[in-house]
């Protein structure tokens, strides 16, 4: 990996996870996102639940054709760490199969739902030849100061901010090998929901929240100067006025001379 690289991860789980799920049109959301990506001619990584690959195969074939990478994100957004061995095997095998059937090749990467994972998952993925995971995460300090954060989170912001700054000193900010042949691509910034809050997809975010999120990511980018991962959710970033948040972030990354790449290109 040379120069400044950025990856846009979009955890794709509408209808299975996320608030107000029944109101969202999945295909319409993905088309809002790909419109913005297309405007800048950049690609993203869609971490997708296996069930959605089964339900919308053509949509994912089309995304891949456009140069985007499709990775896996569980079957129906299970908490994998809490599954027993039998269920874990069942869920992983089923999502892997749905992926291979839809796209005609094996998946390269995986992000565990809720970023909750254990050694069993890593070993399974390694055995099956996956090249990357993206799980390592931190509650970066900006999360505690977000105007959209719950009052009890904001109430502890001073101490939590110090704690987060301390944690960040030992946080890996570049990709590293987690097992032979398997790389970890850490989340070097807050997730969208941590900054924008869990707003209703039927409503726009207040301008104040949008500005806060973009500024917070900018600060985090300055603290992770060579490798930046933007971590979004399809149901949040595709609705209301939030495609414009994606628009602003791509524009910022390009103005700072980041190369926006897929995960596979880095591994
Ligand atoms: Zn998820």
How far, in Å, is the centroid of ligand 1 from the Cα of 13?
6
How far, in Å, is the centroid of ligand 1 from the Cα of 53?
15
pLDDT of residue 23: 76
pLDDT, tens digit (0-9, with 9 covering 90-100), for 128-155: 999 999 999 999 999 999 999 999 999 9
- What is the domain range of residue 251? 5-266
Mean per-residue pLDDT pooled into runs of 10, the chain (267 residues): 93 84 86 98 98 97 98 97 98 98 98 97 98 97 96 93 95 96 98 95 94 98 95 95 98 97 95
How far, in Å, is the centroid of ligand 1 from the Cα of 73?
7
pLDDT of residue 2: 83
How far, in Å, is the centroid of ligand 1 from the Cα of 113?
4
Distance CA 170, CA 113 (A): 24
How far, in Å, is the centroid of ligand 1 from the Cα of 137?
13
Own/partner pairs for 138-142, CB < 8 Å, 24+ apart?
138/164, 138/167, 138/168, 138/171, 138/187, 139/164, 139/167, 139/190, 139/194, 140/164, 140/168, 140/189, 140/190, 140/216, 140/220, 141/165, 141/168, 142/190, 142/195, 142/216, 142/219, 142/220
Distance CA 183, CA 181 (A): 7
How far, in Å, is the centroid of ligand 1 from the Cα of 264?
20
Beta strands in 128-244 (DSSP E): 132-133, 176-179, 182-184, 227-233
pLDDT of residue 50: 97
How far, in Å, is the centroid of ligand 1 from the Cα of 240?
20
Residue 191: phi, psi to the nearest 5?
-75, 155
Give the domain CATH number at 141: 3.20.20.370
Distance CA 5, CA 113 (A): 24
pLDDT of residue 136: 97
Own/partner pairs for 172-176, CB < 8 Å, 24+ apart?
172/136, 173/223, 173/224, 173/226, 173/227, 174/1, 174/226, 174/227, 175/1, 175/132, 175/227, 175/266, 175/267
How far, in Å, is the centroid of ligand 1 from the Cα of 191?
11
According to DSSP, the residues that pair with 9 across neighbouring strands are 45, 231
- Counting the structural domains of the chain, the total is 1
How far, in Å, is the centroid of ligand 1 from the Cα of 9?
11
How far, in Å, is the centroid of ligand 1 from the Cα of 12?
7
> Residues whose CB is under 5 A from ligand 1 (ion)?
11, 13, 113
pLDDT of residue 46: 98
């Amino acid at each position: 990996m040379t120069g400044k690289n950025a990856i846009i991860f979009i955890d794709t789980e509408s209808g299975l996870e996320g608030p107000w799920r029944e109101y969202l049109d999945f295909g319409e959301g993905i088309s809002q996102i790909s419109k913005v990506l297309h405007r800048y001619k950049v690609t993203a990584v869609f971490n997708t639940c296996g069930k959605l690959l089964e339900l919308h195969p053509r949509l994912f074939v089309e995304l891949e054709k456009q140069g985007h990478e499709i990775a896996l994100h569980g079957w129906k957004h299970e908490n994998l760490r809490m599954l027993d061995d039998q269920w874990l095997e069942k869920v992983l095998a089923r999502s892997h199969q749905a992926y291979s059937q839809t796209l005609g090749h094996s998946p390269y990467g995986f992000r565990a739902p809720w970023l909750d994972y254990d050694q069993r998952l890593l070993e399974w993925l390694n055995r099956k030849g996956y090249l990357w995971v993206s799980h390592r995460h931190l509650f970066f300090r900006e999360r505690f100061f977000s105007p959209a954060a719950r009052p009890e989170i904001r109430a502890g912001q001073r101490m939590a901010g110090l704690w987060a700054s301390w944690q960040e000193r030992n946080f890996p900010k570049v990709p590293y090998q987690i097992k032979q042949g398997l790389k970890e691509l850490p989340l070097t910034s807050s997730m969208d929901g941590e900054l924008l809050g869990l707003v209703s997809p039927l409503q726009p975010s207040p301008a104040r929240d949008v500005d806060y999120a973009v500024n917070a990511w900018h600060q985090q980018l300055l603290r992770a100067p060579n490798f930046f991962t933007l971590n979004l959710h399809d149901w949040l970033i595709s609705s209301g006025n939030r495609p414009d948040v994606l628009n602003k972030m791509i524009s910022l990354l390009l103005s700072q001379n980041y190369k926006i790449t897929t995960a596979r290109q880095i591994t």
